[in-house]
Amino acid sequence: MFHDSSGPRRLKPMLEELGADIWDRSRVVLVMDHYVPERDEDSRRIVRIAREWAHEQQLPHVYDSVGICHVVLPREGHLRPGLFCVGGDSHSTTGGAFGAYMFGIGSTEMLGVLVTGEIWLRVPRTLRMHWTGQLGPGVYAKDMMLHMIGQLGINGGAYQAVEYAGPAVRALGMEERMTLANMSAELGAQVGLVAADAVTRDWLAGRGVSVADADLQALEGEAYDARYTFDAAILTPQVAAPHSPVNTQPVSAFANVGIDIAYIGACTGAKLEDLTAAAAVLRGRQVGQGVRLIVAPASKADEAQAEARGAMQVLREAGATVLPTGCGACAGYGDGLPGGATVISSTARNFRGRMGAADTQVYLASPATVAASALAGRIADPREELV
């Protein structure tokens, strides 16, 4: 899998220089998500290259402006337990939520895979993140992930396979599991895995993918190199301060931080369950004076389902501006955020300049915490709104 930023504009000239062809077009997925909708001549050029190359190569799996690649890939039925996949993006680790071994690679490695169908890989060490108990109301997978990064650091899983296990993980819905696998990249992990089970099978069945009982996985008793245990029952909403996800503390530590912008977007934080969680906080309320609430759904399918549930109406009535689906401000493209602003965001990263200007202060949190903060005009605990 690759997208408009990582794919054709880099791979096309290399393939032409080698005089090489694609090894198996049926196993290639191209998603236009980073530079769409096109905002300037440079983005128009990049997307044009992708579209023309896809047509020239007669690629059978092309998704143009329908969502972010990590969400589109499973939604369109391209993932299932046991697959070995590579993606031209660091958050390709999302595929591990489905029991697929999926990780991100650069353009040179992608060229090799595209031509030969092979890649060299060192088998990594395995880390087990075991979560006991159950999450309380207003606490989500994003809080679990931020807590782990805060405890272990952004290199805590460097080039390792991270497995998420335990009753709290098994209780998560599919899209919450995607959040865990997605942000494995922020742990430095090569891959983030959740054992495929009935939740996986049922979710994929709704996307036309059949998973046999034999394909379900039981990682709980297998060997691992290190194990960390966390208690979901005592976890509170978490927030990461600028300019790294490692700067994580409980939401209460930031109660006096005022915000200008609340952003609900990205593959990490704008899926159907994310939009629904934010709407539960915002229902019947209005965002604080002087606060901009921006919502960019992760895919058109997620937006349509959230619309059918009434969640999108709740978000709009609360004062949200809804942007087209795509990576957008998360990657600093198109709708990058203004300089000097203090932002609370549902995205995965808050490195300096990641979402636009270098002096933008970005705090990371769950969509529910972002929504609660939009109401208060400061970083706020969503549990106070869910009572």
pLDDT digits (tens, 9 = 90+) for 57-88: 999 999 999 999 999 999 999 999 999 999 99
Between CA 265 and CA 275 the distance in angstroms is 9
Cβ atoms of 34 and 4 within 8 Å: the answer is yes
Tokens representing 16 are 């032409």
What are the angstrom distances between the C-alpha of 292 and each of 200, 263, 295?
36, 8, 10
Cα–Cα distance between 112 and 119 in angstroms, integer? 7
Distance CA 57, CA 88 (A): 18
According to the model, what pLDDT value does residue 217 have?
73
Using pLDDT thresholds of 50, 70 and 90, give the confidence band for residue 213. confident
Residue found under tokens 């782990």:
148
Do domains 2-116 and 240-384 share one topology? The answer is yes
Radius of gyration of the chain (CA): 20
Return the pLDDT at 104: 96
Q: What is the pLDDT of residue 334?
A: 64
Q: What is the mean pLDDT of the chain?
A: 94
Mean local confidence (pLDDT), 178-207: 96
- Report, as an integer, the average pLDDT of 12-19: 95
Among the four given CATH numbers 3.40.228.10, 3.60.10.10, 3.40.640.10, 3.30.499.10, the one describing domain 2-116? 3.30.499.10
Angle between helices 272-282 and 300-309 (to 10 degrees): 40
Q: Where are the domains of the chain?
A: 2-116, 126-234, 240-384
Q: Which residue has the higher pLDDT, 104 or 219?
A: 104
pLDDT at 192 over 90: yes
Would the pTM count as exceeding 0.85? yes
- CATH level 3 topology of 240-384: Aconitase; domain 3 (3.30.499)
Token match 């490695």: residue? 109
For residue range 219-252, list pLDDT tens digits in order: 555 678 999 999 999 999 999 999 999 999 999 9
Q: Tell me, what's the pLDDT at 222? A: 67
> Could you tell me where the beta strands, DSSP code E, fall in the chain?
2-3, 30-32, 62-64, 84-87, 101-104, 126-132, 161-165, 191-194, 226-231, 238-240, 248-250, 261-265, 292-296, 321-322, 342-345, 361-364
**Mean pLDDT, to the nearest integer, of 199-206?**
95
* Superfamily of domain 126-234 in the CATH hierarchy: Aconitase, Domain 2 (3.40.1060.10)
